[in-house]
Structure 1
């Protein structure tokens, strides 16, 4: 029997941050917990970064995950929203890296496609798939940040499982050779050692 992998999924945000914790043993997935953390909207967004870090560290201490999966922001929001969300995501990723965890990020469309088969599934549809997958009642109106976090954790588990299965079957594609541009750069550095940064 393989060792269990505990995955903490995070849907970063500066006002609400969702989290979902699952355990993967072989091909079996088990829900440990899900929820959300709210931050004081009255604080400046930069001040909330410290609160986000403290909350992520508390989740890491409480659940002792082996992997951290984070939902990447999607490009469609205004620049200020993207900047704030990117900062929150950076805090979350850094907390996991400092603990030596396996850290992965997934765009929302990839998460939706891995869970539902459709990259354009709504948050409510995604919550419905997760409810069926984990056989638990999920109120999507109350817990969309939490279900997004559970979805990213599940996406990571399924991705790792699929990669392991393909690798064991020898079905992974061969690694691509370095691009001509990369090899040209390497050639340039070899010919000009004094130019190396």
Structure 2
């Protein structure tokens, strides 16, 4: 069996996730991808609990051997920072608790550079992923970023963040 990677784009409202399988020859395969969405009307702890449950289910279903997570970065806009950082912490905790895996943490600009453009917008990332994996169509949502994150980790990109 080829190694399985989980790529994660963390967030409180939306968590993007993707499962990729390494291929001994050629490009890896996208096994599945999607989003975990939490309702705004829920309290932050309720949203974090939902993320914890859903990530745990993904880990159990796909049993990845490797995990890559985008490290949140906040420039001028830090309004959503608290929620995203809490979600990142829960995802990090669940991954380690459920699998014993220390995730690879990647900066947004580095995994996007790996795809060809460090400042790419979501549509650009989707276009690059489509070409790279030979896909006819791809939803333009947070799962696209998770595919890029997982792919960069699978290809060996590391930011040495601990």
Normalised by the length of structure 1, the TM-score is 0.73
* 2:122–2:140 Cα contact (<8 Å) kept: no
Aligned with residue 154 of structure 1, among 147, 151, 154: 151
Residue of structure 2 equivalent to 1:9: 7
Residue of structure 2 equivalent to 1:125: 124
Residue of structure 2 equivalent to 1:36: 35
- Flag the structure with more relative contact order, 1 or 2, with Cα contacts below 8 A and sequence separation at least 6: 2
* 1:66–1:102 Cα contact (<8 Å) kept: no
* 1:123–1:144 Cα contact (<8 Å) kept: yes
Cα 1:155/1:43, change in 2 over 3 Å: same
* 1:68–1:102 Cα contact (<8 Å) kept: yes
Quote the offset at 1:25 in angstroms: 2.8
Larger Rg: 1
- 1:91 pairs with 2:90: yes
- 1:20 pairs with 2:53: no
Quote the offset at 1:27 in angstroms: 5.1
Quote the offset at 1:77 in angstroms: 5.3
Computed over aligned residues only, the root mean square deviation of the Cα atoms, in angstroms, reads 1.8
**Aligned residue pairs: how many?**
156
For structure 2, the 5+ residue unaligned runs are none
List per-residue Cα deviations over 1:42-94 (Å, max 9, x = no partner). Answer: 10123211111001001101111011111111222533411110110111111
- 1:144 pairs with 2:141: yes
Quote the offset at 1:138 in angstroms: 3.3
Residue of structure 1 equivalent to 2:103: 103
Normalised by the length of structure 2, the TM-score is 0.88
Residue of structure 2 equivalent to 1:178: none
Task: Work out the CA distance in 1 between the residues paired with 2:107 and 2:122.
Answer: 14
* 2:123–2:140 Cα contact (<8 Å) kept: no
Quote the offset at 1:102 in angstroms: 4.0
Task: Work out the CA distance in 2 between the residues paired with 1:157 and 1:94.
Answer: 21
Task: Work out the CA distance in 1 between the residues paired with 2:59 and 2:9.
Answer: 15
List per-residue Cα deviations over 1:70-124 (Å, max 9, x = no partner). Answer: 11112225334111101101111111111212411111100100112x2112221
* 2:39–2:47 Cα contact (<8 Å) kept: yes
